[in-house]
Amino acid sequence: MHRRPPRLFPAFLLLVVALLLTGCGVDGDQAALCGKLIPAFDSGTVTILDTEALGGDEPALRLTYRSDTGTHWIACRFGGRFFDSRRHELVMVATDRMGRLRPMQFTMLRIWAGLPAARLGLPPDAAGRERGPQTDWAPLLFFLQQVINAATVACVYGLLALGYTLVYGILGQINLAMGELTMIGAMLTAMGAAALGMAGLGSLPLAVLGVFATVMAFTAVQGWTMDRLVFRRLRRAHNHTPLIAAVGLSIAYQEGMRLLHGARDWWPAQFLAYRHELLSDGAFTVTALTSQAVILLMTGGLYALLWAIMQRTAYGRAHRACADDVGAAELVGVDVDRTVATTFAVGGALAAAAGAVIALYYGGVNFYTGYLIGFKALAAAVVGGIGSVPGAMLGGALLGLVETFWSAYFAIAYKDIVAFGLLTLFLIYRPDGLMGRSRGRGD
């Protein structure tokens, strides 16, 4: 007797509705930035009494506060809303005593608050720092900086490549809709980040971790549903039928998200964007962000967890049995349908993890985010050896290094050509990839 899956859909539906409402209200990050300007006008103890969103074409808010001189207010207008790239760009300030600040006053206020350096993502003392003369160590330091930059790119490709390789390993088929699960994960993460910003919790790691876990769970359900409604019905169909169905699913996800949320880019606030100087020769400084270390630890943790699941659990044994021979596994009592559905769910969760990295580290999320990323991750899976879990991570690391170093030393416009050219070379000279093995099922 088959066990009925838990009814998680109503809870996730409520989550989606709540996230869709995050475009209403006051942006907590903007309110915090406006509040930091109050000491420029009032000294002493300040108590915020009320925060009010103002109308207009551009987002604005007014803080009412009490200080030693009485009750006053300050109004701030910004260049963008929750998902815009200019959401932290201050464009106007007014107070109850001075009115709207004149251009010179506004410029002096921005300098006092350190906004030019903050907008560039630099530490407060880096805006006016003079560089020393270039030394012989500069090329090596630049090389090390590119290695650090490539690590984050490799995490995105590696996580999504794991989703591809798990499904291919058990079915011998490529799910081209996996990239769109990454897009859904990125969009939901952006919404969750906006909700945390409104609540003033955007800087709390546990709150961001909660959003991250929720998005992974939601996208895992999407992967399970994808198999249950589409791919299970095509399990014994012609080889090309599931591939065509996957293309149709990909287009349906893209167009559905475009109609629901529009085609503009969403720019959630960066998470833990604290810059640390690692090495310097006076002319060039190797830096890393706290978020980059968190992404590396998260990716390593997910990979270790997946490895433990594949080696130590009943699902892992069932997956390996189905990967060797689906018919034989079914004869010895393995529930193939449940194993495949779980594989789609795990792949969807890993795709959501890649989408969360894109949203919180890179930004610029839209309905088309998963398309090119998905094909590049597929290239990483093929290069590493599709069907091999370690090969997926190795392929993601190799593709991340190639793409980053090409962008650093050569024309960035050709980086996609190089990435897919690498895939072509591997398909010609090493079709099984670096760690893959030849398959004998005709796929």
Q: What is the pLDDT of residues 122-151, one digit of tens each?
A: 344 444 445 556 677 788 888 999 999 999
| Of 88, 83, 86, residue with least CA distance to 261 | 83
Contacts of 263 (CB under 8 A, 6+ apart): 366, 367, 368
φ, ψ of residue 64 to 5 degrees: the values are: -100, 130
Q: Are 116 and 110 in contact (CB under 8 A)?
A: yes
The residue behind tokens 């300098």 is 111
> Please, what sign has the CA dihedral across residues 323, 327, 332, 335?
positive
Count of all residues that appear for the chain in the document = 443
| Of 101, 78, 83, 85, residue with least CA distance to 32 | 78
- Joined tokens for residue 178: 């996996």
Contacts of 275 (CB under 8 A, 6+ apart): 121, 122, 123, 287, 288, 289
Spatial distance between the Cα atoms of 193 and 207, rounded to a whole number of angstroms: 9
pLDDT for the residue 47? 85
pLDDT for the residue 356? 92
pLDDT for the residue 6? 47
Q: Are 174 and 406 in contact (CB under 8 A)?
A: no
- Convert the pLDDT of each residue in 232-287 to its tens digit: 888 877 678 888 999 999 999 999 999 988 887 777 777 777 888 888 877 788 88
Which helix (H) or strand (E) segment is 286 a member of? strand 285-289
Q: Is the pLDDT of residue 83 over 70?
A: no
pLDDT for the residue 118? 39
- Joined tokens for residue 313: 């659990």
The residue behind tokens 């591809």 is 164
Q: Is the pLDDT of residue 52 over 50?
A: yes
Q: Are 422 and 429 in contact (CB under 8 A)?
A: no
pLDDT for the residue 82? 59
Burial class (CB in 10 A: 0-12, 13-18, 19+), 14: exposed
